[in-house]
Structure 1
Amino acid sequence: MAASSKKRLKAQPKNMIFALDIGTRKVIGMVGTVESGKLRIIAMEKEAHTKRSMIDGQIEDIEQVAKVAHTVKKRLEAKLQYTLKRVCIAAAGRALKTQRASFEMKFPLPQRLDKETISRLEAGAIYEAEAAFTNGLDTNSRQFYLVGHTIVQHYMDSYPVSNLLDHRAGLIKADVIATFLPSEVVDSLYSVMHKINLEVTSLTLEPIAAINAVIPQNLRFLNLALVDIGAGTSDIAVTRDGGVVGYTMATVAGDEITEALMKKYLLDFNTAESIKTQIGSQKTMQVTDILGNEQTVTKDDIMDCVDKSMESLCREISERIYEINGGSTSAVFLAGGGSKLEGMRTSIAKYMNLDVNRVAIAGNNFETYAFSDSYDLNDPEYATPLGIAVSAGLNLIDESFHVTLNGNEAKLFRNSTITVRDILMMNGFSYHDLIPKAGQKLIIQLNGKRTVYYGTPGEPAVLRVNGKEAKISDLVHMGDNIEFSSAVNGQDAKRCLKDLMTDDPNQTATVNGNIVSPETTLENGDSIVLKPAPPTPAADFSDSKPNLETADELSEEVSPAAQESASEEQKSATAVSADSAFSGDQIQFDLNNQTVVLPQKENGSPYYLMDLIERSGIDLEKPTGTFVLRVNGVDSSFLTELKSGDRLEIFYKS
């Protein structure tokens, strides 16, 4: 029944926006379509985390968060009868850092300013911000993404202007604020999305998304602050003079209040969380502590308990706003579940030196960009998920990094050194897609001698950037078109007993001492005895040639004693290799100063540098430095074609 129901689901239409807000306490999903310049919300679902799988807005348990997100996704699909494949998400502002910078361009004669010129100006300002931020930063120990930028002010001939387009000027300047985020915040989000088979089509910061829902563009000439108080973090954005002038965050939020209740009344986390959300609606509550004792707590007792934590939270939020604004703002909007706590508006107003009427709960402006026939959207808890949806659906953000991967546009956070590898990893590919594996070897004992049959070589991955062959270490730039086809693994070596036998009708054969059918498939470790013995090693030329491996190649498969024996056999084999029946069908390379002999590929195609990765001994899953590929001393790519006798270097450079 479930299978037939799944078949009836239709594909997600191109104009259908699916937004997921991965919060510290719950996951909220919204689906909408753009109608007459607004986003119509047609479905919404939310589900709380059953465990503390997120802390301070950061995913701690990817598997648990994926389960909750998958539940939300499935419920929405059941409501809509569409299979959801594309998703818009936002990263929390944990450890968010900002950097201001300026850049100017001077022309010999005044000229008209077109979009391309303005883009170059802003790109220069962003570069200056990146350079200032990374100066002195240990990028080996921790990586930061440039996740967004805001143009604070444009200048034309030293005078501030709101729009440079089509003006004539000899000197232009741009001031920007660039925002950086630790890579682990972004990487964990992508891991969750990949686990539930969703393709990320839009990625922004939670404060950027929330402000797009709470403070419309026409209000940003006012000096306003948005504070999105979640369970783990409080994200902050400030507007002034028509734009967003800064983002920051406070590391205290609703969880501090929950923990105060836990300590005061000896409660588990979920019970304390339940009390917190009911503070404003009930005068008394019955609770059971961790020892099994029932308690009656009053609203006044609870407020006395949480007062200190709330004061601390509001004081830190106000201090963060003062830092990025240079003083108090004209008004403050509170969003997120934490904004509903009784007394929050009054406390924020006190520390911001504002009248309490200048501190509002978000929701009144949601109708600027969104509406719904089925849901009441005027809830401050919806600021982030609604902001994610309208930001993507109405193109209110341009902070993400745009590249095309296999014909699909991906918006990705970036830093100054994002590579093709980073793009592939963030879009669901792994090292297994990059590196082909040769088919598994078949190792047997033939008349007492160790004989190896190789599997077929794998087919290398195909990687191009803007139509040209590329390396995974190549840097990616805005607008690049990446084409990637995964590597194909080779086929395992297979032999039947009859493949080893000659046409001699009197020949006998045993496998592990037993007489078996000639059709018997051989397995690793089998001992075959042929009488009379064949004059040369029995081999099937349609696949690959038997050969003795070096001790290094055997290190993962046999004991030290067997390695020593194999080494002696290899010396003997090397000494007669020139006269071997297979010498004309083998190719020899010098790989990291070790001789490697391989059979010709069955279809006559050449070997590529990628084919030798597996034999180099490096661990691609655990890189220890810069990946170096060289052929005859020249830097090369995975798809470099090899010739017999080539000198190859494959290693990590620290």
Structure 2
Amino acid sequence: MDNRHSILTDTLPDQAVFALDIGTRSIIGMVGMPDGDRIHIVAIERAEHTKRAMIDGQIEDIDQVAKIAGQVKDRLEKKLGCRLDKVSVAAAGRALRTESVTYEMELSRPQKIDAESVSRLEAGAISEAEKLFMNRDDKDSDRQFYLVGYTVSRYYLDNYMISNLIDHHGRVLKADIIATFLPTEVVESLYAAMHKIGLEVASLTLEPIAAINAAIPQNIRLLNLAMVDIGAGTSDIAVCRDGCVTGYTMAILAGDEITETIMKEYLVDFDTAEKIKADIDEGAELHFTDILGFEQIITRESIFECIKEASSRLCEEISAKILEVNGGMPSAVFLAGGGSRLSGLKEGIVEHLKIDPKRVAIAGNNFKINAYSDEYDLENPEFATPLGIVISAGFSIVNDSFRVILNDRPAKLFRNGSFTVMDVLMMNGYNYQDMIGRSGQNLVVSVNGKRTVFYGEKAEPSVLTLNGEETQLSDSVNTEDWIVFIPATRGKNASAMLSDVAELGKGNKVLVNGEEAKKDAPLKSGDSIVIETTEAEIKEEPVLNDGEEKPVKADSSSPAHQTSNEQGENSRESKGKITFFLNNNPLTLPLKPDHRPYYLMDMLEYSGIDFKNVTGQVVLEVNGESGYFQQELHSRDRIMIYQVK
């Protein structure tokens, strides 16, 4: 019995990978088993779309795509003798957008770099990428884009390039990232089509990333190389150098451009035009029947003349995209996908790039580095994407190939590299406001010239656990981990009535913004209240809406380290209050109900930073160490919250 039959069971073994490459013209299914440092491909099936269910790499007809994908799945199940219930797929489509960003973060002093610092660095870079992308004029204004993942190309520590920042010492951190944006419907349509045929999406990556993982193995990525996967609807492009994938993009010109040109020139249907294109190198003459029923015979030379202009446009577009994403001429180019076989295409790329012909090759020779098969010829350039999906999932190059449960449901994961809790939350639609929360707005009025503040309720902090234990945003996520996240809830805005600051109806005259008040009324921030009386008493300082006393800050001129001062703070704590030292000044707050702890996020509103207009990276420190939002605070902790511009 061969190796393929030895793995047959009712369901695939956990380590096996079932991949579907859902292309514009066809769907290719591939099943592989990790075998040491290579993937053993045990089954391949392919089915053509009978209708134009895909346009430019994006699903238009979910039912039709599900139908064809179901046919591929059924054939593979019969061939293997087992059930397929999880699938790895790749997304692309004409709407894929990327944003490349370099982001720098300076720490308050040289220190050991921990995971939380790296997480903050990447989060800052992501925010910058989102800001740049959302402000772009060329973004489709009527579509909702969202960040689906990002790849870190390079890290820098004190201006020196480094592969891993963790545990090194330094002060200035920098990262180059490539953030990827897709409309919601692109990813959701993939999930919907797979759900219709009973498949759970176990891994989701990007088509250009999948293809480069097959065409350009890690051991040759020190060179500046470009990979172009030319499909029917799109041409996916990825480039690498210095061991990293440094960019990816796509051209919406591809094989269909040639097919449609043949249709118009010879009055044939799409399938006939596809056959003419495929058979262009088979002989000197081609025979076919046009849509009017006439038999035609055309020469190979006449077809080349017909498609010359369209082929030139395709080669020009691909070449321009390569130069754009790479920032110049690459050392070599690999052509993959079914379109790479089009006669004259390689020569056209050489002409438009003005590159040595020996530096442009059809991909396939390197496939055997990461995969092998006893039954199939894997050097077919059309296998770049499906093989890349299998390789990416099988070797966990895309860690989305394992399952993570978020709030009792499989999380959508979509990026290259390792995952943190923050990554999972952001990829599933949560943002920093969900993690931090906001206190309710304060109500500030003037009473006889004295500033009086009614404080809004504090935010209810978020709840975040990993496998039942409290966790940090920077903690790593592993296969089958489960995360529970309850977003922070914003506190209620402060509210107060005129009677909260002045006695009414006792012969005193109360003016609100210069007009005499006849009755009790709600106050608004900025109101000026004047009490003209010698009899009425101004009420005591207002209290928080939840019944707690107003926070008391010590005079900033009192040195925080003085023994007498700290003794005073101890006295306050004995009366149901707790004292911290924020930015070197004491801050005394009432104890929370049920003696719940204060968290670092609670200190943000007292830091003096306007979080609606942040102008630089916000640094969080507790007792001289890097802090995190959900860090529990203790009496007399020394806290620093400041911006680095």
Equivalent residues in 2 for 1:391-406 (5 A)? 391-398=392-399, 403-405=404-406
Equivalent residues in 2 for 1:283-362 (5 A)? 283-362=284-363
Equivalent residues in 2 for 1:80-159 (5 A)? 80-135=80-135, 141-159=142-160
Contact 2:230 2:336 in 1 (8 A): yes
Q: CA deviation at 1:33?
A: 1.0
One-letter code aligned to 1:294: E
What SS does the corresponding residue of 1:412 show, helix, strand or coil? coil
Structure 1 residues 46-70: Cα deviation after superposition (integer angstroms, max 9, x where no partner): 0111111111111111111111100
Give the whole-Å Cα distance in 2 for the aligned partners of 1:396 and 1:46: 25
Look up the match of 2:70. Answer: 70
Look up the match of 2:18. Answer: 18
Q: CA deviation at 1:32?
A: 0.9
Contact 1:147 1:205 in 2 (8 A): no
Equivalent residues in 2 for 1:567-646 (5 A)? none
User: 5+ residue gaps in structure 1?
Assistant: 1-7, 424-463, 470-474, 485-654
Matched, 1:169 2:170: yes
Look up the match of 2:209. Answer: 208
Contact 1:19 1:31 in 2 (8 A): yes
Give the whole-Å Cα distance in 2 for the aligned partners of 1:213 and 1:68: 25
What SS does the corresponding residue of 1:10 show, helix, strand or coil? coil
Give the whole-Å Cα distance in 2 for the aligned partners of 1:291 and 1:71: 33
Give the percent of matched residue pairs that are identical in Structure 1 and Structure 2: 57
Structure 1 residues 287-336: Cα deviation after superposition (integer angstroms, max 9, x where no partner): 00000000011111111111111101000111111112222211111000
Over 3 Å counting, the alpha-carbon distance change for 1:220 and 1:467 in structure 2 is closer
Give the whole-Å Cα distance in 1 for the aligned partners of 2:102 and 2:387: 33
Structure 1 residues 531-555: Cα deviation after superposition (integer angstroms, max 9, x where no partner): xxxxxxxxxxxxxxxxxxxxxxxxx
Q: CA deviation at 1:94?
A: 1.7
Look up the match of 1:502. Answer: none
Q: 107-116 vs 196-205, which deviates more?
A: 107-116
Give the whole-Å Cα distance in 1 for the aligned partners of 2:362 and 2:216: 12
Give the whole-Å Cα distance in 1 for the aligned partners of 2:152 and 2:426: 26
One-letter code aligned to 1:25: R
Q: CA deviation at 1:405?
A: 4.1
One-letter code aligned to 1:325: N
Over 3 Å counting, the alpha-carbon distance change for 1:181 and 1:213 in structure 2 is same
Q: CA deviation at 1:374?
A: 1.3
Q: CA deviation at 1:145?
A: 2.9
Look up the match of 1:650. Answer: none
One-letter code aligned to 2:74: K
Give the whole-Å Cα distance in 2 for the aligned partners of 1:14 and 1:410: 19
Q: 25-34 vs 411-420, which deviates more?
A: 411-420
Q: CA deviation at 1:9?
A: 6.5
Over 3 Å counting, the alpha-carbon distance change for 1:408 and 1:421 in structure 2 is closer
Q: 240-249 vs 43-52, which deviates more?
A: 240-249
When normalised by structure 2's length, the TM-score is 0.62
Q: 95-104 vs 205-214, which deviates more?
A: 95-104
Q: CA deviation at 1:13?
A: 1.8
Q: CA deviation at 1:401?
A: 11
Equivalent residues in 2 for 1:376-395 (5 A)? 376-395=377-396
Contact 1:147 1:204 in 2 (8 A): no
What SS does the corresponding residue of 1:121 show, helix, strand or coil? helix
Contact 1:465 1:481 in 2 (8 A): no
RMSD: 3.1
Q: CA deviation at 1:396?
A: 1.2
Matched, 1:280 2:281: yes
Over 3 Å counting, the alpha-carbon distance change for 1:165 and 1:478 in structure 2 is closer
Give the whole-Å Cα distance in 1 for the aligned partners of 2:310 and 2:428: 44
Equivalent residues in 2 for 1:360-371 (5 A)? 360-371=361-372
Matched, 1:47 2:36: no
Q: CA deviation at 1:402?
A: 7.5
Matched, 1:234 2:235: yes
When normalised by structure 1's length, the TM-score is 0.61
Give the whole-Å Cα distance in 1 for the aligned partners of 2:276 and 2:169: 62
Contact 1:93 1:206 in 2 (8 A): no
One-letter code aligned to 1:191: A
One-letter code aligned to 2:279: Q
Contact 1:43 1:80 in 2 (8 A): yes
Structure 1 residues 254-287: Cα deviation after superposition (integer angstroms, max 9, x where no partner): 0010011111111000000011111122221110
Look up the match of 2:523. Answer: none
Look up the match of 2:452. Answer: none
Over 3 Å counting, the alpha-carbon distance change for 1:417 and 1:88 in structure 2 is closer
Q: CA deviation at 1:127?
A: 2.5
Give the whole-Å Cα distance in 1 for the aligned partners of 2:44 and 2:267: 35
Look up the match of 1:535. Answer: none
What SS does the corresponding residue of 1:311 show, helix, strand or coil? helix
Q: CA deviation at 1:111?
A: 2.6
Q: CA deviation at 1:97?
A: 1.4
Structure 1 residues 577-632: Cα deviation after superposition (integer angstroms, max 9, x where no partner): xxxxxxxxxxxxxxxxxxxxxxxxxxxxxxxxxxxxxxxxxxxxxxxxxxxxxxxx
Contact 1:402 1:478 in 2 (8 A): no
Give the whole-Å Cα distance in 1 for the aligned partners of 2:45 and 2:275: 20
Q: CA deviation at 1:406?
A: 6.6
One-letter code aligned to 1:36: G
Structure 1 residues 555-589: Cα deviation after superposition (integer angstroms, max 9, x where no partner): xxxxxxxxxxxxxxxxxxxxxxxxxxxxxxxxxxx
Matched, 1:30 2:30: yes
One-letter code aligned to 1:86: K
Over 3 Å counting, the alpha-carbon distance change for 1:314 and 1:62 in structure 2 is same
Over 3 Å counting, the alpha-carbon distance change for 1:150 and 1:419 in structure 2 is closer
Over 3 Å counting, the alpha-carbon distance change for 1:225 and 1:136 in structure 2 is closer
Contact 1:98 1:178 in 2 (8 A): yes
Contact 2:400 2:413 in 1 (8 A): no
Q: How many residues align?
A: 432
Give the whole-Å Cα distance in 2 for the aligned partners of 1:287 and 1:400: 46
Over 3 Å counting, the alpha-carbon distance change for 1:141 and 1:124 in structure 2 is same
Contact 2:467 2:482 in 1 (8 A): no
Q: CA deviation at 1:467?
A: 9.1
Q: CA deviation at 1:123?
A: 3.0
Contact 1:148 1:399 in 2 (8 A): no
Give the whole-Å Cα distance in 1 for the aligned partners of 2:467 and 2:37: 40
Q: CA deviation at 1:35?
A: 1.1
Q: CA deviation at 1:409?
A: 5.1
Over 3 Å counting, the alpha-carbon distance change for 1:403 and 1:124 in structure 2 is farther
Give the whole-Å Cα distance in 1 for the aligned partners of 2:206 and 2:179: 12
Contact 1:107 1:171 in 2 (8 A): yes
Look up the match of 1:412. Answer: 413
Structure 1 residues 374-425: Cα deviation after superposition (integer angstroms, max 9, x where no partner): 11101100000000111011011258998414767544349999899979xx
What SS does the corresponding residue of 1:339 show, helix, strand or coil? helix
One-letter code aligned to 2:134: T
Give the whole-Å Cα distance in 1 for the aligned partners of 2:343 and 2:305: 12
Equivalent residues in 2 for 1:179-578 (5 A)? 179-398=180-399, 403-405=404-406, 410-413=411-414, 466=465, 481=482
User: 5+ residue gaps in structure 2?
Assistant: 1-7, 416-421, 431-462, 486-645
Give the whole-Å Cα distance in 2 for the aligned partners of 1:32 and 1:385: 10
Give the whole-Å Cα distance in 2 for the aligned partners of 1:30 and 1:84: 11
Q: CA deviation at 1:41?
A: 0.7
Give the whole-Å Cα distance in 1 for the aligned partners of 2:361 and 2:389: 21
Q: CA deviation at 1:197?
A: 0.6
What SS does the corresponding residue of 1:21 show, helix, strand or coil? strand
Give the whole-Å Cα distance in 2 for the aligned partners of 1:406 and 1:149: 23
Give the whole-Å Cα distance in 1 for the aligned partners of 2:277 and 2:152: 40
What SS does the corresponding residue of 1:105 show, helix, strand or coil? strand
Over 3 Å counting, the alpha-carbon distance change for 1:123 and 1:288 in structure 2 is same
What SS does the corresponding residue of 2:167 show, helix, strand or coil? coil
One-letter code aligned to 1:123: A
Look up the match of 1:57. Answer: 57
